[in-house]
Amino acid sequence: MFARLAAAMALLCLPVLAGAQGAPVAFGQVQSDRSLPIEVTSDNLNVNQADNTALFTGSVVISQGAMRLSAPRVRVIYLADQSGIESLEATGGVTLVSGEDAAEAARADYNITTGMIELRGDVLLVQGDNAITGETVLVDTAAGTARVSGRVKTVLQPGGDQ
């Protein structure tokens, strides 16, 4: 996958096509089921019961169904009644994978209740042989869509004989 992202970054240097600001795109093969359990693995965990948070550090991988998020650092904010997770804040370089689609960004904020993921900071979205860059990508996991904004650049590979 990282080879694919590196190849996509190389393609972004080509002046093929500049997309429109706020361009909507599909993300992931299927809609994500937010009722599925969230599994977190990491090297370290620090829990702060005073503010209902947990800090996972070191090769953090979070999975929910077919969606995977990895980052060096993820802060989990629990609901006030501690009955579940309210949101996740991933920083330090984030990779999000859903089906055949992948995205990289400096930071990602995932609101579990709404199913919205905001990727910020030099975002690269790869879908097959196509790539999109922008400053922000807002992923709606319920709808399986994303919106790219902030000087959007799109590289589309021509299809074969059809």
Direct distance between the N- and C-terminal alpha carbons of the chain, in angstroms, rounded to an integer = 27
What is the C-alpha separation between 68 and 74, in angstroms, rounded? 13
- pLDDT tens column, 55-94: 999 999 999 888 899 999 999 999 988 888 899 999 999 9
Residues (pLDDT < 70) of the chain are 1-34, 160-162
Q: What is the pTM of this model?
A: 0.76
Specify the pLDDT at position 121: 96
